[in-house]
Amino acid sequence: MTSKRIRTIEELGEFGLIDRLTAGFSIHQESTKVGVGDDAAVIDHGSYYQVVTTDLLLEGIHFDLVYTPLRHLGYKAVVVNLSDVYAMNAAPRQITVSVGISGKFSVEALDKFYEGVKLACDRFKVDLVGGDTSASVTGLLITVTAIGTALKEELTLRSSAQNHNLVCVTGDLGAAYMGLKILEREKQLHTADPEFQPELKGYDYVLERFLKPEPRVDVLLALKEAGVTPSAMIDISDGLSSELLHICKSSDCGVQVYEERIPVADETAKAAGEFQLEPLVAALHGGEDYELLFTVPLSDFEKVSAISGVSIIGNITDQKGKAFLVGNDGSAIPLQAQGWNAYTDSE
């Protein structure tokens, strides 16, 4: 048989699917500067840019209400979108929030969700300007669109990393993934024995990282104060490996990062140990950290080094599309995207 085999959604993966579905679309509007393919779309308003990003969050796929308080979910649903706006080096301004709700939800449950939305709106000074509500056949579904603005000279795409640039990340990685693993473990124990009381003491850090992520506005402000504009930036939602590969693809470059430089919190390493998991694996492939991954020119080395909460983990290379992890023994291992994939992940 030589006929072209039809590819399945699983084979294509999320990014392959998006590439395929949006391939034939043309641009009609002068104001459209960047369409599909960055953290956010970019609209030109003459003296400044506007960025627009949107996310779907579905019960049973992206969250489990057994261990996710609705207030936290409301906060997180907003924050993960703001994180995409910040990753463009833009300031969020407005959001819309739409919810589909099945019969099992009370008005009070929705009140709790919107308390979390409001907390995020007040903290990050964004306005809830619209949305839609509907009944749903099963469970809760949430979709948030966030809009922000950026000065033209400050907008930071994924596509502008340059050879020899330093590769930096904020905070530490893998914590949110270990928070999820702990919650899943306790849920399973509780399901097996309803008398079992979940034991979450001592896991505060990783649980908070999963349930209530915070966008790294602090680091963006510090960079601005230091006079540093990243050459490229992306937020880490699917895991470091996946995001490094996005930058390589968009910027048509390569990257190498050093195992010993990848920041992992002690609590994350301890939790990983309980699952016989290498902390590095959680850092590379665990998602939902919502830290920032960015590149800066070598000349900014000292300025960036002085900012607390930033780790320089490697550098951009000219080996197009290739991302390597340099191990502590000097070996170079090719990185692959094994981030959370809602199409194939069995967890």
Q: Which of 150, 140, 211, 148 is nearest to 177 (CA)?
A: 211
Least separation in angstroms between CB 249 and a copy of itself = 17
d(Cα 61, Cα 343) in Å, to the nearest integer? 9
State the nearest-atom distance from the C-beta of 4 to a copy of itself, in Å.
12
Query: Could you tell me the smallest distance in angstroms from the CB atom of residue 136 to a copy of itself?
Result: 6
Identify any residues that bridge with 79 across adjacent strands, giving them in sequence order: none
Residue 337: half-sphere exposure toward Cβ, Cα within 13 Å: 20
Q: How far is the CB of 342 from a copy of itself (least distance, A)?
A: 5
Nearer to a copy of itself, 111 or 274 (CB): 111
Minimum Å gap between C-beta 46 and a copy of itself is 8
Q: Identify which of residues 142 and 168 has a Cβ nearer to a copy of itself in the complex.
A: 142
Closer Cβ to a copy of itself, 12 or 226, answer by number? 12
Residue closer to a copy of itself (CB basis): 57 or 325: 57
- Distance between CA 84 and CA 268 in Å, rounded? 24
| Closer CB to a copy of itself, 118 or 322, in the complex | 118
